[in-house]
Amino acid sequence: MDIPFSRWHPAIEQRISRRRFDPDLPISPEILGDLDTVCQKFAPFSCARSVLVTDPTESAFRGFLGGYGKVTGAPAFIAFVGNVDDPHVQEKVGYTGEGIILEATALGLSTCWLGWFNEEPVTSIVELHGEEKVLAITPVGYAMMAKDWQERSMTGLVRSHNRRPLSELVHGLPEERWPDWVRTSLEAARLAPSAVNRQPWSFEVQEDSVLVSVRTRGPDFRVTRRLDCGIAMMHVEVAAGACGCTGQWEFLQHPQVARFRVSSRDSYPELISHNRRCQPG
Ligand SMILES: Cc1cc2nc3c(=O)[nH]c(=O)nc-3n(C[C@H](O)[C@H](O)[C@H](O)COP(=O)(O)O)c2cc1C
């Protein structure tokens, strides 16, 4: 399945993590069917897949450190599964899973990436093969209209709305030489969700490419930081596509993650008219 750039690009700004869902608002069978179809079809890497579970048990959402990740009322969840034999499984699962999260957002649903969840109830429902593991899950549903105190305090605790400025994250080609798609892509990458909002990425702008690397203080958090970087990769590509630029990813060795090189530019991208944030360069 090709990435629906003009559908997923607005979802990047609309998405926020929600942890309290309205138990009285079920998801219609049509919307569940649409989401399930995208879970099955959007699988760009053989080692990463997404499984929609429509009869979840609340024990899957265990909460962590005083309620981080405590989720209530969700009528469904999606498991993000990866084959851990693949050396780039984390970034591939992050990239694939964020595509599904953006689709759920476009369908009007709320989500929250959860790296801390109860494995036992999840793996008793999701069938795994060989070296597969569930690397993360997200609840899916309609969030309560207002955040309760616990959800508000959780958002405040991890400072969910804060994002680092691009000046702290980007190096390489000076800004005045950035191709027009680069600013839109980097702004989109900056908005990517990450575990405890640590934003563990940096970006190097090169001629016709953006290189994503992990900012790391040591080897211990290396693995999940690469999953976060996979999420940022999806945002880079969606925004580039919305500006009429498509390309390919080349996966790299730690601390680099992957380089996105633009291979085709639409000189009159129909999509630009849908997206006022893509300014001609
Ligand atoms: C890989 C990953 C794992 C996460 N794990 C958890 C979790 O276990 N519990 C939780 O409450 N939030 C979790 N989050 C949500 C982040 O805290 C949230 O995305 C971040 O604070 C930014 O807020 P936003 O998503 O509202 O933009 C996770 C996010 C990512 C990307």
Span 107-134, pLDDT tens digits: 999 999 999 888 889 999 999 999 999 9
Mean pLDDT throughout 35-43? 98
> Counting beta carbons within 10 angstroms of the beta carbon of residue 195, is it exposed (0 to 12), middle (13 to 18) or buried (19 or more)?
buried
Would the CB of 199 count as within 6 Å of ligand 1? Answer: no
Q: Give the Cα separation of 274 and 139 in Å (integer).
A: 30
Among 85-89, 141-145, 265-269, the range scoring the smallest mean pLDDT is 265-269
Task: Calculate how far, in angstroms, residue 19's C-alpha sits from the geometric centre of ligand 1.
Answer: 10
pLDDT at 35 exceeding the cut of 90:
yes
Q: Do residues 239 and 184 touch, judged by C-beta distance below 8 A?
A: yes
Residue position matching structure tokens 């053989």: 46
Residues of the chain with CATH 3.40.109.30: 166-274
Would the CB of 200 count as within 6 Å of ligand 1? Answer: no
Q: Give the Cα separation of 88 and 42 in Å (integer).
A: 18
pTM score, whole prediction: 0.92
Residues of the chain with CATH 3.40.109.10: 17-157
Residue 117 CA: nearest ligand 1 atom is: 8
Mean pLDDT of the chain: 89
Task: Output the pLDDT for position 257.
Answer: 96
> Counting beta carbons within 10 angstroms of the beta carbon of residue 123, is it exposed (0 to 12), middle (13 to 18) or buried (19 or more)?
middle
Among 1-5, 161-165, 230-234, 239-243, the range scoring the smallest mean pLDDT is 161-165
The 10s digit of each residue's pLDDT in 60-84 is 776 665 556 689 999 999 999 999 9
CATH class of 166-274: alpha beta
pLDDT at 190 exceeding the cut of 80:
yes
Q: What is the largest CA-CA distance in the chain?
A: 53
Task: Output the pLDDT for position 63.
Answer: 60
Cis peptide before 255 (omega within 30 of 0): yes
CATH of domain 17-157: 3.40.109.10
